[in-house]
Amino acid sequence: MNDPGLRWYHRLYVGMQYLLPQHLLSALMYRIARLRWRPIKDFGIRLFVRHFRVDLSEALEPEATAYPSFNEFFTRALRPGARPLPSEPSALLCSADGTLSQIGGIEDGRIFQAKGHDYSLLELLGGRQDWARSFEGGSFATVYLSPRDYHRVHMPLAGTLREMIHIPGRLFSVNPVTTSLVPNLFARNERVVCLFEGEASPFALVLVGAIFVGSMETVWAGQVTPAGKESPSRRYEEETGIHLSRGEEMGRFNMGSTVLLLLPPARVVWDPSLDPGASLRARQRIGVLR
C-alpha cells in the first residue's frame, strides 16, 4: 500500500508487532498496572498524565495520584452530571470517548477498516452466521480510544443482553498506523462481542483488545479477559433480566483499544457532521433511529 502518509519506520513498528510476545507483554502490563506501592504508582500516573495531557476535569476523583493503582486511575469514573443525555428519545449515542475511525454501511458482508483494507463481518462475530445475517446490509461505527481518553464504555441505546461471545486472538495495536497496515485487524485481535435486543433490534457492541490491554470487563460478568479456565462466553435468557438503559455503563478497557457498534439495515441516520477523524465523547449524539 503506497500511502504517502506512511514511512519506513511505521512499517518497521508494525512488523515488530508480528514478532512480539503480545499476550506475555499484556500479562506483564496487567500486573504492573495494579501495583499499589505509592512511589512507583504515583510516578507512573504523573508521567502518564503529563505525556498524554490527560484531562481530569470531568473525573469523579480529579486528583490523579489519589487512585490506589494505575489501573484504577485509567478506568476512572466520570463525576455525576458530567455527560447529560440528549433529550431526543430517538438519539443514538456514542459508546466511548475517542476518535471516529470509520463509519458507514456493511456491504457484501464486509466492514471497511482503512484505505485498502476491509474485513469479514462473519469473522468479526466469531463465525456466528445467525448474528451476521442480522447485520448484513446494516451500519457500523468504529471508535478508537487513545491512552488519554476516558475508558468506560456506555450503551448507545437501551437494550437487553442476549449473548456475550469471547473470541481469542492476537493483540496488535489498534492505533491508526497499525490499522492502515495490518489486514483484518479487528477480525484477528482478541475481542468480546456483546449482542443486544432493543429498539433497534438487534444491535452489537464489539470490544476489541490490543497490545497492553491486560483485560476487558463488562458490568454483568466482571473481568472477561484474560479468560480463566471457564469460558466467559454465555447466553442470557429472558429471565436473566440483564437490561441496560441508554447511556448506562456496560464495560471498560483496562488499557486503550477500540469499540465497534453494529446496527441492522435501515435503522439509523448518522449525524451528517461525522467524518473519520472526528473527536467523540461517550453519550454524545451521533445519529437518530428511523
Question: What does the pLDDT look like over 64-90, one tens digit per residue?
Answer: 999 999 999 999 999 999 999 999 999
Enumerate residues 6+ apart whose C-beta is below 8 A from 203: 156, 157, 159, 196, 261, 262, 263, 264
Closest CA to 163 of 93, 240, 226: 240
149 counts as catalytic: no
Which of 95, 101, 173, 257 is an active site residue? Answer: 257
Which of 151, 154, 173, 215 is an active site residue? Answer: 154
Task: Give 189's DSSP letter.
Answer: B
pLDDT < 70 stretches in the chain: 1-4, 213-214, 228-229, 239, 256
β partners of residue 91: 288
130 counts as catalytic: no
Which of 26, 95, 97, 173 is an active site residue? Answer: 97
Cβ pair 174, 207 in contact under 8 A: no
pLDDT for res 236: 85
97 counts as catalytic: yes
Report which residue type is found at 202: P
Q: Which three cell numbers stand for residue 50?
A: 503529563
Measure the CA–CA gap between 7 and 256, rounded to whole angstroms.
Answer: 24
pTM of the model: 0.92
Burial of 78 (0-12, 13-18, 19+ CB in 10 A): middle
Measure the CA–CA gap between 160 and 151, rounded to whole angstroms.
Answer: 22
Residue with cell 473470541: 167
Task: Give 181's DSSP letter.
Answer: H
* E strands in the chain: 91-93, 98-105, 110-114, 117-120, 139-144, 152-154, 159-167, 191-198, 203-208, 216-218, 222-225, 234-235, 243-244, 249-253, 258-263, 268-270, 279-280, 285-289
